[in-house]
Amino acid sequence: MIRTRIRDFLELIRFSHTLFALPFALMGAALAAHSRGAWHGRWRDWLGIVVCMATARSAAMALNRIADRHHDKLNPRTAARHIPAGRLSVQAVAVFAACSSACFIAATLIFLPNRLPLLLSVPVLLWLLAYSYTKRFTSLAHVWLGVSLGLAPIAAWIAIAGNVAWPPVLLGLAVMAWVAGFDIIYACQDADFDRSAGLQSIPRLLGVRRALWTAAAFHAAMIVPLIGLGLIYPLGLLYFLGVAGVAGLLLYEHALVRPDDLSRVNQAFFHVNAWISIGLLCATVLDLAV
């Protein structure tokens, strides 16, 4: 029973998809640690980054499931999710979201005597939680989500270095464009439902064909700050080979999806994007190491 309940909560928040943002947070932390000449940093700082990422994302995903439960029940694609299917109650998920939020704030104490993570924890958490309601009033909800994940490398840099600099900002901009692009692709599946339910999205606003072109534009824009990061940090050949690999994977992602065939959206969304984030992290760490 307990094992089943734990599995239900992990499935609810898509815990495995922490791989999307965590590598970029670790990349921001690695750049900060390397810039200070203390490559490994304090082990507890690295632990704190992982815990903060997991708890903040868990809180945001849980609230998102609560906020969308009525729409999820009406949408054939999402009707089997845990709350509309009756596998988890709203009250249980709300308690989980509250506990995750409290754990996120508490985890920032790990970084003391650096107080910035603690001071910024509540504003960051409110931004993450607010995403769940943006689809009610703006088609730019995809960008809101992009900014949410783009904060990860900036926050990780702050946790390690105690300040803000251009490298994490450029990395955050790249993550913002990347996430906005793939979220638009994912939302193409629900363009018709969003229109009938009164929800806002780029696919609903522009149609699926133009939405896919918009996603491609975001992904093309992602490469610009990645190149800028490599130039101003500076980083070397291995990093730029990683950026080239990211560009190739983005092209492959868009080749998988067509306006008249969205059957491979999940492959593009879940598999390709995991390779992008993990691959760039590995390329960056190797470049810093050599």
Residue-wise pLDDT tens digits, 225-234: 999 999 999 9
**201-226 per-position pLDDT tens digit:** 999 999 999 999 999 999 999 999 99
Q: Is the bond into 84 cis (omega within 30 degrees of 0)?
A: no
**pTM, 2 dp:** 0.95
* pLDDT tens-place string over residues 10-59: 777 776 667 778 999 999 999 999 998 766 557 899 999 999 999 999 99
Instruction: Report the domain count for the chain.
Output: 1
Q: Please tell me the total number of residues recorded for the chain in this structure.
A: 290
Which amino acid is residue 271, in one-letter code? H
Domain limits at 22? Answer: 2-289
What integer pLDDT is reported at residue 36 of this predicted model?
84
Torsion, CA 71, CA 76, CA 77, CA 82, rounded to 10: 60
Distance separating alpha carbons of residues 215 and 270, to the nearest angstrom: 16
Residue 244 has pLDDT above 70, yes or no: yes
Q: What is the pLDDT of residue 38?
A: 65
**What are the pLDDT digits (tens) for 137-148?**
999 999 999 999
* Residue 24: CATH number of its domain: 1.10.357.140
* Residue 173 pLDDT: 98
